[in-house]
Amino acid sequence: MGTESSRASDLRGFLREIRRVETQLRLRQARDRIEDLEHKLVALSQQDAVTGLPNQVRFADRLDQAILQTQRADHLVGVLVLDLDRFKRVNELVGHSGGDEVLRQVAQRLEGVLRQGDTLACMGGGRFMVLVPKLNKDLDATKVGKNLLEAFRSPFKALGRGLQLSTSVGICVFPQDGLDASALLAHAESAMYRAKERGGNRLECFTTTLNQVSLERQEMEHCLREAMQNGELQMYYQPQFHMDGSLAGAEALIRWNHPLLGLVPPTKFIPLAEENRLILPIGEWALRESCNQMAHWQSLTSMPLLLAVNVSALQFANGDWDACVVRALVESGLKPDRLELELTESLVMRQGHEDVRPLHRLREIGTRIAIDDFGTGYSSLGYLQRLPITTLKLDQTFISALQPEESEISSEHIVRAIIQLAHSLKLTVVAEGVETEGQRDMLELLGCDCLQGFLLGRPLPADAFEALLESMAAKAFLEDPRRER
Ligand code: C2E
Ligand code: MG
Ligand code: MG
């Protein structure tokens, strides 16, 4: 009996011991798991979600380490910043998941040209960074940059379509271009912006003067905000002609009349205005100003004139933009069918079914809709056909390649095909950038409807355009066979 009760108590003790060990084991497992999760969390917070590459935090960390190690040894450290050119356009074309796919392919190719020990990082939005920790001379960083540019030679693929990409690369080197991670990154970035300003698909090395360039960017943004209030923005008007030489109308083109910089072309400040959304008030101002102007001109002549106004992607994406157009029409008294809104191909292509409803509403009241720079994007013609478009503006690149004496005839074929196709869809074709008599003759032969270009007239300030209008009206009056002698 005695032995039995002691065995029972042993057993209970043994069971308690098992439970205690079990609890400890569970606790240890839980602790391990938590530790494991913590490691994973740290790794994830230092990793770019799309490419799986280190992100900016990890990159800065590695850059700090490389700088420390270099101070002991006698090496240089290279920092390169890459920004894909027009990456927004890739997303427009293939959507965000397609864009992510392209980023992964880019990451793979870049990794392929780097050496072990180099760090490739991704900041998202089409921007990558490279750390080359052991360089003997700064020229070696340029060599790496060239190899990275080369990696973009062949097209990428997304959604089954080939995409030709390029990148802008900015390079700087420790210690001569900066002594800590943040200075080096900022300097490589400003060199990259210089590469972009020079047209992209190239590399630029940081020089101290580049500091001024990034200042200029900030200053430019500040000035642009003031420009609107100070009345420094001005509309120019470039005449458009029918094939018989009569005036068809004008395209309104914005200019910035800066007191010190002089006349700043739109290509210099529209992208910036789009970045900081200033394009919304600027675009609205441009529309109202040019509608008022054209309404005034229309009151001076019986010639029907058309006003073409450019619309930026951001305006388009802003819900009530058709209401803004209607307001400009009502306020100015310009008839809706005298206004043509110019949209770019990529802008229209990326809109969903719902988003193009403003286009339909405007078309219903008679407003004309043109696709600007046609032929440079990747329009699906089937899609275009479903949009209420009235006009195709053939891009300048096709027109400049139109040389009657050239044996190269592909451009002629393309233009002919586009014109035929446009006409079969009952669209008007306007050729932009007509600079030579030869091009004009060829376009006439190919059946183009309207011409715009330096050969026929440059963009003019309002008073100069009014003088042109008066002389054209007088000429039309003199040539009118119905005029009584
Ligand atoms: P775009 O709408 O395609 O305008 C045609 C551009 O080609 C104009 O440049 C015009 O001056 C230029 N051009 C006209 N004929 C010729 C020619 O024979 N040869 C050459 N080489 N060029 C010619 P600009 O005025 O510098 O405008 C550039 C772009 O800026 C415009 O391209 C348009 O996309 C944008 N833009 C201009 N004004 C506005 C605006 O009010 N709002 C918006 N959102 N964008 C605007
Ligand atoms: Mg245009
Ligand atoms: Mg154009």
- Compute the distance between CA of residue 168 and CA of residue 147 in angstroms, rounded to an integer: 13
Which residues lie below 8 Å from residue 231, measured CB to CB, with a gap of 6+?
Answer: none
Range of the domain at 82: 56-206
Q: State the pLDDT at residue 213.
A: 53
In a shared domain, residues 153 and 226: no
Residue 16 belongs to some domain of the structure: no
In a shared domain, residues 174 and 315: no
DSSP-derived secondary structure for 243-284: TTS-EEEEEEEEEEEETTTEEE-HHHHHHHHHHTTTHHHHHH
Here the CATH number for the domain that contains residue 175 is: 3.30.70.270
Q: How far is CA 166 from CA 81, 151, 181, 452, 480, in A?
A: 14, 9, 26, 31, 54
Domain boundary among 152, 180, 206: 206
Nearest CA among 398, 333, 326, 320 for reference residue 365: 326
In a shared domain, residues 186 and 291: no
Residue 31 belongs to some domain of the structure: no
The pLDDT confidence band at residue 439, using thresholds 50, 70 and 90, is very high
Residue 6 belongs to some domain of the structure: no
Which two structure tokens, joined as six digits, stand for 443? 């376009």
Nearest CA among 82, 101, 345, 291 for reference residue 202: 82
Nearest atom, ligand 1, residue 236 CA: 25
Lowest mean pLDDT, pick from 156-160, 400-404, 450-454: 400-404
Q: Is the pLDDT of residue 485 over 50?
A: no
Q: Are 173 and 76 in contact (CB under 8 A)?
A: yes
In a shared domain, residues 77 and 190: yes
Ligand 2 centroid – CA 181 distance (Å) = 43
Domain boundary among 149, 182, 206: 206
Question: What is the residue whose two structure tokens read 């700043």?
Answer: 264
Residue 17 belongs to some domain of the structure: no
pLDDT in tens, 420-433: 989 998 999 999 99
The mean predicted confidence, pLDDT, of the chain is: 86
In a shared domain, residues 252 and 194: no
Phi and psi at residue 452, to the nearest 5°? -145, 130
In a shared domain, residues 303 and 168: no
For ligand 1, atom 20, which residue shows the shortest CA distance? Answer: 433
Residue 1 belongs to some domain of the structure: no
Residue 12 belongs to some domain of the structure: no
- Ligand 1 site, residue 239, Cβ cutoff 6 A: no
In a shared domain, residues 300 and 355: yes
Which residues lie below 8 Å from residue 126, measured CB to CB, with a gap of 6+?
Answer: 83, 84, 87, 90, 103
In a shared domain, residues 194 and 248: no
In a shared domain, residues 305 and 160: no
Question: What is the residue whose two structure tokens read 């990428």?
Answer: 156
For ligand 1, atom 10, which residue shows the shortest CA distance? Answer: 459
Q: Is the pLDDT of residue 293 over 90?
A: yes
In a shared domain, residues 198 and 225: no
Q: Which ligand has its closest atom nearest to the C-alpha of 311?
A: 1
Question: What is the residue whose two structure tokens read 């919304």?
Answer: 280
Ligand 1 centroid – CA 307 distance (Å) = 14
In a shared domain, residues 312 and 279: yes
Residue 140 belongs to some domain of the structure: yes
pTM of structure: 0.62
Here the CATH number for the domain that contains residue 232 is: 3.20.20.450
In a shared domain, residues 202 and 240: no
Q: How many domains does the chain contain in total?
A: 2
Residue 22 belongs to some domain of the structure: no
Domain boundary among 206, 237, 263: 206
pLDDT in tens, 302-336: 889 999 999 987 787 777 789 999 999 999 999 99
